[in-house]
Amino acid sequence: MKPLLRPMTAADWPSVAEIYKQGIEGGNATFQLELPTWAEWDKAHLQKCRMVAELNNKIAGWIALSPISGRSVFVGVAEVSIYISNQYQGQKIGSQLLNELINESEKENIWTLESKIFPENNTSIRLHEKFGFRIVGYRNRIGKMKNIWRNIVVMERRSEKTGL
């Protein structure tokens, strides 16, 4: 069954937050250790290109963009956040969300998408590669999480339609 992809609204926050919490608890999705409030999350993410995947009237996953900088020269560069509910992993929902995000981001004149992924998160790295992201860097011991140094893989995708 194919999920309904639609814009995320504030009313979706309880479900979005629960999926985000699963990612936090899993330990390989984010440096975030505490669940933000809706206001904190909303302020940190772009208003455009926020989507949820709905299946059987339940939110199965979400995707959103954050600015990488406040400087005007980077207005077309954004960082991807994508989270799939534990219950719905392995059902290609991430592929559908990322594909739709790429299409929507290009309509919004975003020419570069980037993701910072823990190297242990092979599923996310493979998903990004499937959609044309390439590894452009590796940050060794970039942040501590629960007193353990963590590394990240930096991936990016350049649009072939926007920003040429």
Predicted confidence at residue 120, as pLDDT, reads 96
Using one digit for the tens of pLDDT, what is the confidence trace for 87-119? 999 999 999 999 999 999 999 999 999 999 999
Predicted confidence at residue 161, as pLDDT, reads 87
Predicted confidence at residue 93, as pLDDT, reads 97
Cβ-proximal residues to 49 (8 Å cutoff; 6+ apart), any chain: 63, 64, 65, 78, 101, 104, 105, 108, 110
pTM, 2 dp: 0.94
Using one digit for the tens of pLDDT, what is the confidence trace for 17-74? 999 999 999 989 999 999 999 999 999 999 999 999 999 999 999 999 999 998 988 8
Band of pLDDT at residue 9, cut at 50, 70 and 90:
very high
CA distance 125 to 133: 9
Which domains, and CATH codes, for the chain?
4-115 (3.40.630.30)
Strand order in the sheet with 58-67: 4-7, 51-55, 58-67, 77-84, 112-117, 148-158, 134-145
CA distance 16 to 30: 15
Predicted confidence at residue 1, as pLDDT, reads 77
Band of pLDDT at residue 164, cut at 50, 70 and 90:
confident
Cβ-proximal residues to 13 (8 Å cutoff; 6+ apart), any chain: 38, 41
Let me know how long the chain is: 164
Using one digit for the tens of pLDDT, what is the confidence trace for 105-154? 999 999 999 999 999 999 999 999 999 999 999 999 999 998 999 999 99
